[in-house]
């Protein structure tokens, strides 16, 4: 089957050749000598899969005349998106082209759709974005290290709102992918229904032709040989029955295709509803974030006002004490009478505290062991 065949492109010889998907050894036979591209495809070597031309390209990083920003086979270059599989040695390369019906694609946030075209596995974790200086382009991968520049890919920390937003974006992208898949299935079902209708019309026309031919032959054979005419009539009847069964099968397939069209439309409506719900949730989270920022700014302003008020009250309470200490002594050489009373009061308190301390120490020393 065609689904079991993949297309290989050798950059060294610019040669294309088919390969069985179950084969692990990839050998290019172009040129003077054969050379091995991979001994364990797709888990060894370096491979780039172009989603537009559906080709596996044996990539050579050191070649200066090639770049992942443009497919060397189909020359696509509009809005390149790169995803590096964390299970095999394949890097997915996708470009914008609305005229193509792709089997695999790279979503805008970096995830493969529906999965890796080589090992058919999903990423082990959410792909992280990384700008690779070797390829001079941003790529997405679930690996901890970039396989091209060998740099460690750190996952950016996000707060709760941003994390929820990222999840909603992922759900929205998934809903869009499901909607596209439903649309493709609907188109395929419509095409199958059209073919079934054409086959049914052809079967009906052929059945009428057979009946007319049998009628003519029967009328002609009545004057020649009754037995031969009967045999031909039975054969014509058998052919007509076969055509009727084929017509019934075609009608049944047409009904099945119509049902698949309705199912595809229903799935598309569900995907659109999920996408709208994800957008509503995103807007609600954004509104909550704005309200939280507004509340935080109001609280900061309130704290600043309270601090200014406390400083003002402290300055007002400090002014009488400063004025008291700034008063000069009286003419007799001493301090004012109010200050003398305060000094005497403080001395009395100090003496009382001293005697209390002596009593406490005596009670501790004489306490029975």
Write out the chain's pLDDT in tens, 369 residues.
445 789 999 988 888 899 988 889 999 988 778 889 999 999 998 999 999 999 999 998 777 788 899 998 899 999 999 999 999 999 999 999 888 888 899 998 889 999 999 999 999 988 999 999 988 899 999 999 999 998 998 754 334 455 555 556 656 766 776 777 777 778 877 887 788 788 888 888 888 888 888 777 766 655 556 677 677 778 878 888 888 888 888 888 888 888 888 888 888 888 888 888 888 888 888 888 888 888 888 888 887 788 788 778 777 766 665 665 555 555 445 555 666 778 888 888 888 888 888 888 887 877 655
Backbone angles phi, psi at 229, to 5 degrees: -65, -40
Note whether 25 and 5 are within 8 A (CB): no
Q: Give the pair of three-digit tokens for residue 127.
A: 């792909």
282-289: long-range contacts (C-beta < 8 A, 24 or more apart)?
A: 282/165, 282/168, 282/169, 282/172, 285/161, 285/164, 285/165, 285/168, 286/165, 288/161, 289/161
- Name beta bridge partners: 35: 28
Check: pTM over 0.85? Answer yes or no. no
* CA dist list (Å): 311 to 29, 32, 304, 317, 318: 87, 90, 11, 10, 10
> For the chain, which domains are there?
1-155 (no CATH), 162-293 (1.10.287)
Note whether 76 and 66 are within 8 A (CB): no
């Amino acid at each position: 089957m065609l689904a079991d065949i993949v297309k290989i492109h050798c950059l060294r010889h610019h040669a294309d050749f088919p390969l069985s998907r179950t084969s692990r050894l990839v050998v290019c036979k172009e040129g003077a000598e054969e050379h091995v591209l991979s001994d364990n495809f797709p888990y060894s070597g370096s491979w780039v899969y172009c989603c537009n031309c559906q080709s596996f390209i044996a990539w050579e990083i050191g070649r200066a005349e090639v770049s992942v920003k443009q497919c060397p086979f189909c020359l696509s270059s509009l809005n390149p998106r790169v995803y590096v599989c964390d299970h095999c040695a394949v890097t997915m390369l996708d470009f914008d082209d609305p005229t193509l019906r792709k089997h695999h694609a790279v979503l805008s946030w970096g995830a493969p759709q529906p999965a890796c075209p080589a090992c058919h596995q999903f990423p082990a974790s959410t792909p992280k974005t990384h700008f690779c200086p070797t390829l001079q382009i941003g790529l997405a991968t679930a690996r901890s290290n970039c396989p091209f520049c060998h740099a460690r890919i750190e996952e950016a920390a996000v707060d709760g709102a941003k994390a929820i937003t990222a999840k909603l974006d992922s759900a929205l992208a998934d809903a869009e992918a499901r909607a596209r898949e439903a649309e493709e299935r609907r188109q395929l079902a419509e095409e199958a229904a059209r073919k079934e209708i054409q086959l049914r019309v052809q079967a009906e026309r052929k059945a009428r032709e057979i009946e007319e031919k049998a009628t003519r032959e029967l009328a002609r054979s009545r004057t020649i040989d009754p037995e031969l005419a009967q045999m031909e009539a039975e054969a014509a009847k058998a052919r007509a029955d076969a055509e009727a069964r084929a017509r019934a099968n075609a009608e049944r397939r047409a009904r099945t295709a119509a049902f698949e069209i309705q199912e595809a439309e229903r799935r598309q409506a569900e995907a659109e509803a999920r996408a709208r719900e994800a957008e509503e949730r995103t807007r609600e989270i954004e509104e909550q974030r704005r309200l939280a920022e507004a509340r935080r700014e109001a609280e900061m302003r309130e704290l600043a006002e309270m601090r200014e008020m406390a400083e003002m009250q402290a300055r007002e309470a400090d002014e009488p004490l400063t004025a008291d200490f700034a008063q000069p002594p009286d003419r007799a050489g001493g301090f004012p009478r109010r200050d003398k009373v305060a000094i005497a009061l403080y001395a009395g308190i100090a003496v009382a505290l001293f005697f209390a301390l002596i009593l406490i120490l005596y009670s501790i020393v004489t306490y029975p062991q």
